[in-house]
Structure formats: C-alpha cells, structure tokens
Amino acid sequence: MRRQRDLRKQDFSPSVLDFGPVRFYVARHFGFCYGVENAIEISYRALEENPDKKVYLLSQMIHNQEVNQDLQSRGIQFIADTDGTQFIPWEKIAKDDVVIIPAFGTTIEIENLLLEKGVDVQQYNTTCPFVEKVWNRAGKLGQESHTIIIHGKPNHEETRATFSHSSGNAPSIVVKDMADAMQLGKYILAEKEFKNFEKEFFGKYSTGFDPQKHLQKVGVVNQTTMLATETQEIADYFRQLMVQRFGQENIKDHFADTRDTLCYATNDNQDATYQLLNLEADFAIVVGGYNSSNTSHIVELCERKFTTYFINSESEIKSKSKIHHFNYHQKQKKITNGFIPNKKPVNIILTSGASCPDTLVDRVMLRMVEFFEGAKPVSDVVREFDENIFAAGDNP
C-alpha cells in the first residue's frame, strides 16, 4: 500500500503496526531487492527448463539460508561456498551441465574456465545490473589511467568478482574498511617502506601492482552493499591524501571525484534504518542471513541506538524469554534470556536485509505477537494501518 502511494520514494518514515501490548516499527524499505528477486526467478526457471540435467550454482544464490536450502532440495548443487571453498571439483562440471551465475556475478577466471568446458555461461547469468554498473565504473576509471581502490569485503563473492573485472583493466586493490584505507594511505605519503606492502596487502592487489607507481592517481568504487557513510569517509580520506601530496590545484589529475557505487536497495534500506534511529524503542530485530553483507550493515546501524537481535528466522525466537541470535562482530551465535522487557506496550524495531523474503519478517512478527496476551488480531491491525494511510492522504 505505502509503496504504491510513494512511487518516487520520498517518504522514509517507518510503518507502525500497533497490536496493543506490543507495537512494531517496521522500516519503510527492507527485504528483497530487484537483483535478488531476478536471481531467484531465473534459478527456479533453470530447474524447470532442465529436468534431465545437472543444475549448479557457482555459489550461494543469495545470502539467505532458507532460499538456498529450498533450491538445494529441488536439486540445485552449489559448486563453492561463499568464501570460495570448493564443494564440487571443476573436473565434474561438464559441457551439458547448467551453471547459474549468482547475483553477485563471478570472476573472469571462473567464467573462462566454464567457457573452455563449453558451458553456456550466459543462459542463466543472474549477475545484478547494479553489480555490472560497478564493473563499468571501474572500467571507465581504468581507461582514464586511474588505479582502482575497491571498498569491499575481500572474501565476498561480489568483491572478488569486481576485483577480477577491474584488475583486467587497471591496477586494483581492495580495502575492507577505514583502518585498511589508512594503512594504504601511509604508502601514498611514503610514510611506510614499500617492502612491507606485499605482506600487508597480500591477496588484495592485482598482479604487478607497484605501490610506488600505482598510488598516484586513484578512483574509488565499492561493493554495492557497504555502509554508505564508510565508503564516503574512505573516498574523502584518499582525496585529502592526494591534496596533501600533490596540491589542491592538481587534484583532478590524481583523484576521480565520483559518487559511490552502492545499489539503490542498499541506499533505501540504510536511509530507512536511519529513520528508525529517531525513534524510542525497547529493542530491534533484524532478520537476514548471517553471512549477508547488507544485513550486517543494517545491524551495525541499529546497534548505534538499540539492543539489536540479528536472527535468520522466527525459529531463533525460542520462547518468550529466550532468543538465539548472531553476533556478527564475533561471528558467533549468542543466547539472550529475558529479552522482552516487562512493560506495556513493548516497542520493537523490525527490519531485514535485501536477501530476506518479506514473509520471513511477517513470521518473525507473528512469532513475537504470540507472547503478548490481549494482542489484537492481525486483520484488525492491518485494517487500522490501511485506514491510517488513507486518512493521511497523498503524503502518508
């Protein structure tokens, strides 16, 4: 309803679903993005169209356990894990097999390997156009003789794919965060001996990268799901270093002033999360896959204000007093007892990442509602919500 009335996406205020003793503040934008929906649709189509063939996915379709398990139960096999660990050796993949490229895209090396086997890599290529946009930006910067600095998680499929595409055109290097950027900055200012570079950035720079030569003219692109503010800080940091080294008057010859390459879904979800931070609530629940980059950034934002429980499904809510959740900083599951405060109403922030089906958010909400005696029926809450939207006119 709100989506239809706000096609130009000018309203980022949360939706309020008031069940009486419990109230949910749901982010204005959350859940499945275009790229994920497209990839899922193509994967199911690949299965339908090829009942007699082996159907493989290069790695997880998206970072969502339930979707991946469903695809596996229908016969899809994953060739590798998210971090590149091989499950099925390449020798087993044959010409007539179907290989789906996930929304993150893949590396040129893997694409070539499949092409050499005669596998059609385009028929079920689900690479998201917003990821391809990053590759195009990197390509353009490379043509203008910039070195490409990629802000991304070095082991993430998307960053590996972007790195592979960009290093074909230009010297490229990955920085995962501001701390990494600052270490690289020391080489730009020649504050660190170049002999340390190889060890410090091992596996993160392109073949033949020479820090003395290739850190004089740079441009920044990023993994589409990074935290917008962090990418901006990193780009500003490199800009300022170039001013320091080459002077403000020469900055255009040493730094590409471009916008970040985050995708629309990351921007919308993060902007909607900032709106949630203006509220007062008892805690936040963020739903999504534990290896999902975009979800972990939403968790990071929510944690700035609220006690935040990162869960991948309603089954993590064990009882009224116990929740299992994921601490992504420590990469560990945790158990919290007594997570619902003894007060009325309890106000809960609820949102999810781009790889999480909306139904999962519904299920989490319904699971929580079970714990509140006297909660209004869902149909009443939804009707009231719709009436409020209508009453608010064109600017809900």
Three-state secondary structure of 75-144: CCEECECCCCCECCCHHHCCCCCEEEECCCCCCHHHHHHHHHHCCCCCCCECCCHHHHHHHHHHHHHHHC
Terminal alpha carbon distance of the chain: 10
Task: Please state, in angstroms and rounded to a whole number, the distance separating the CA atoms of residues 202 and 211.
Answer: 13
Q: Minimal CA–CA distance to 365: which of 16, 62, 124?
A: 16
Write down the number of H helices and E strands in the chain: 13, 14
Q: Minimal CA–CA distance to 141: which of 206, 225, 249, 217?
A: 217
Residue 33 found at the interface with ligand SF4 (CB under 6 A)? yes
Q: Return the range that interacts with ligand SF4 (CB under 6 A); candidates 14-22, 31-39, 44-52, 234-242.
A: 31-39
Q: Which 303-332 positions form the footprint of ligand SF4 (CB under 6 A)?
A: none
Q: Return the range that interacts with ligand SF4 (CB under 6 A); candidates 63-71, 127-135, 231-239, 369-377.
A: 127-135
Instruction: Candidates 27, 79, 119, 128: give the one binding ligand SF4 (CB under 6 A).
Output: 128
Residue 110 found at the interface with ligand SF4 (CB under 6 A)? no
Q: Return the range that interacts with ligand SF4 (CB under 6 A); candidates 47-55, 125-133, 197-205, 239-247.
A: 125-133
Residue 231 found at the interface with ligand SF4 (CB under 6 A)? no
Instruction: Candidates 12, 34, 246, 385: give the one binding ligand SF4 (CB under 6 A).
Output: 34
As measured in angstroms, the least distance from the Cβ of 215 to ligand SF4 is: 28
Task: Please state, in angstroms and rounded to a whole number, the distance separating the CA atoms of residues 312 and 305.
Answer: 21
Residue 36 found at the interface with ligand SF4 (CB under 6 A)? yes
Q: Return the range that interacts with ligand SF4 (CB under 6 A); candidates 34-42, 172-180, 211-219, 244-252.
A: 34-42
When the beta carbons of 64 and 147 are compared against ligand SF4, the nearer one is 64
Instruction: Candidates 166, 172, 224, 347: give the one binding ligand SF4 (CB under 6 A).
Output: 224
Q: Return the range that interacts with ligand SF4 (CB under 6 A); candidates 48-56, 128-136, 193-201, 357-365.
A: 128-136
Residue 261 found at the interface with ligand SF4 (CB under 6 A)? no
Task: Please state, in angstroms and rounded to a whole number, the distance separating the CA atoms of residues 5 and 16.
Answer: 16
As measured in angstroms, the least distance from the Cβ of 129 to ligand SF4 is: 7
**Residue 371: how many CA atoms within 13 Å on its side-chain side?**
23
When the beta carbons of 221 and 281 are compared against ligand SF4, the nearer one is 221
Supply 348's token pair: 């809960």
Residue number, nearest CB to ligand SF4:
35
Residue 347 found at the interface with ligand SF4 (CB under 6 A)? no
E strand intervals along the chain: 15-18, 22-26, 55-57, 77-78, 98-100, 147-151, 172-175, 218-222, 283-287, 308-311, 317-319, 322-327, 332-337, 346-352
316 catalytic? Reply is no
When the beta carbons of 269 and 308 are compared against ligand SF4, the nearer one is 269
When the beta carbons of 114 and 265 are compared against ligand SF4, the nearer one is 265
Sheet holding 55-57, edge to edge: 77-78, 55-57, 98-100
As measured in angstroms, the least distance from the Cβ of 61 to ligand SF4 is: 10
Residues 6+ apart with CB under 8 A from 259: none
Q: Which 264-293 positions form the footprint of ligand SF4 (CB under 6 A)?
A: 265-266
Residue 294 found at the interface with ligand SF4 (CB under 6 A)? yes
List the catalytic residue out of 111, 144, 157, 158: 158
Residue 103 found at the interface with ligand SF4 (CB under 6 A)? yes
Q: Which 354-383 positions form the footprint of ligand SF4 (CB under 6 A)?
A: 354
Cα distances from 280 to residues 17, 157, 277, in angstroms, run 15, 37, 8
As measured in angstroms, the least distance from the Cβ of 238 to ligand SF4 is: 23
The DSSP secondary-structure symbol of 36 reads H
| DSSP letters for 209-235 | --TTTTTSSEEEEE-TTS-HHHHHHHH
Task: Please state, in angstroms and rounded to a whole number, the distance separating the CA atoms of residues 90 and 72.
Answer: 19
When the beta carbons of 63 and 204 are compared against ligand SF4, the nearer one is 63
Is the Cβ–Cβ distance between 189 and 237 less than 8 Å?
A: no
As measured in angstroms, the least distance from the Cβ of 329 to ligand SF4 is: 22
Residues identified as active-site:
158
List residues near ligand SF4 by CB under 6 A: 33-36, 103, 128, 130-131, 224-225, 263, 265-266, 294, 354
